[in-house]
Copies of this chain bind each other. A is one copy, B any other.
Amino acid sequence: MRSRYDIQLRVPEVCRPSAMREGQINETIQEYIEGIYRLQQEVGRVATNEVAQYMGVSPASASIMLKRLAEMNLVEHTPYRGILLTDEGTQLAHQLLRIHRLTERLLTDIIGLPWNDVHDFACKLEHYIAPEIADKIAEALGFPATCPHGNPIDPTFDDGSWRLSDAVAGTDLLVIKITDERREFLEYIESLGLVPGAQVEVVSRTPFDGLIQINVDGKQHTIGPEVARYVWVKEPS
Contacts and interface: CB of A to CB of B under 8 A. Distances in A.
Interface of A: 4-5, 9-18, 27-28, 31, 34-35, 38-39, 41-43, 47, 49-50, 53-56, 59, 107, 110-113, 119, 121, 123-125, 128-130, 133, 136-137, 139-140, 179-182, 185, 226, 229-230
A181 B107 contact: no
A14 to B, nearest CB: 7
A139 B112 CA distance: 9
A39 B10 contact: no
A226 B15 contact: no
B9 A54 contact: yes
A121 B136 CA distance: 13
Copies in the complex: 2
A136 B113 contact: yes
A74 to B, nearest CB: 16
Nearest to A18: B124
B130 A121 contact: yes
Max chain B Cβ within 10 angstroms of own Cβ: one of A119, A128, A136, A140: A128
A16 B56 contact: yes
Contacts of A121: 128, 130, 133
A163 to B, nearest CB: 12
Given A140-B111, A140-B112, A31 B43 contact: no
A9 B53 contact: yes
Contacts of A180: 12-13
